Amino acid sequence: MLKQAVIWTGGAALLAATTVDTVAVVGRHVGLPLTGSIELMQAIVLVSGAIGLVIATWDNAHARVRLLVERLGPGSRSLADRASDLVTLVFLLCLLAGSLWLSADLWDGYEQSEILGIPWALLRMIANLCLAACAVLLVLRLVRRRK
């Protein structure tokens, strides 16, 4: 249920991106340019990309080189899988830490986009939330593997 809701939200972002850039192109050619379309796209692309990271983690779909791992026995393969989850978790936590650091530093700066005034703090928050969700999913998988 939760996963479906996340997918529909990401899908809505994809549809919004399709609409914004299509309207921008048509508008430009009929003399009614869509002001700030690039800023809108930046915000929408962040939402779809960040949700994409969550879905790829949820589906365990991140790309791996399996050339050697597939030739290992079940025990060693399970160890390699856990190590892979752990490396991914550490990487995502580092990204999250860096992003939180920047968010905190820039919080009082009230960063916003130039034309539409889209608050960057909100965009950073969405990215951080999605990274945190990825980390939680990986922790859950690590715990399940251990059991």
Partner 1 sequence: MIYATAASGLVGILLLLGLLLGGARIGAALGIVGLVGLAIVLGPEAALIKSGVVLVDTLTRYELGTLPLFLFMAHIFFSIDASRDLFDAAAKFLGHRKGGLAYASIAGCGGFGAINGSSLATTATVGLVAYPEMKRRGYDDRLATGTIAAGGTLGQMIPPSGALIVFGIIAETSIGTLFTAAIIPGITQALFYALVVFILVRWKPHLATTGDRASWGERWRALARIWEIIVIVVLVISGISMGWISPAEAAAIGSAGALLTAAIRRKLTKQALFTAFHETLRTTGLIYLILLGALLFSVFVGVTGLAVSAGEFVESLSLGTVGTLILVALILLLLGSVLDGLALMLLTTPILLPIVEATGLTAIWFGIFITRAMEIGFVHPPLGMNLYIIQGVAKDVSITRIFKGVIPFLMSDFVHLLLIILFPAIVLWLPEYLGS
Q: Which is nearer to partner 1, 80 or 116 (CB)?
A: 80
Q: Considering the rule CB under 8 A, would residue 140 count as an interface residue with partner 1? A: no
CA angle 47, 143, 55 (to 5 degrees): 20
Q: Considering the rule CB under 8 A, would residue 141 count as an interface residue with partner 1? A: no
Number of residues that bind partner 1 (CB under 8 A): 64
Q: Considering the rule CB under 8 A, would residue 143 count as an interface residue with partner 1? A: no
Taking alpha carbons only, the member of 37, 45, 10, 42 closest to residue 21 is 37
DSSP class of 72: S
Q: Considering the rule CB under 8 A, would residue 97 count as an interface residue with partner 1? A: yes
Q: Which is nearer to partner 1, 65 or 143 (CB)?
A: 65
Q: Considering the rule CB under 8 A, would residue 25 count as an interface residue with partner 1? A: yes
By the 8 A CB rule, do 57 and 138 touch?
yes
Q: Considering the rule CB under 8 A, would residue 137 count as an interface residue with partner 1? A: no
Amino acid present at 72: L
**How many residues make up the chain in this entry?**
147
Q: Considering the rule CB under 8 A, would residue 110 count as an interface residue with partner 1? A: no
By the 8 A CB rule, do 63 and 70 touch?
no
CB atoms within 10 A of CB 78: 13
State how far the Cα of 137 lies from the Cα of 31, in Å rounded to an integer. Answer: 47
Q: Considering the rule CB under 8 A, would residue 56 count as an interface residue with partner 1? A: yes
Name the residues that contact partner 1, by CB under 8 A: 4, 7-8, 10-11, 14, 17-22, 24-25, 38, 41-46, 48-57, 59, 61-69, 80-81, 83-84, 87-88, 90-92, 94-95, 97-103, 120, 123-124, 127, 131
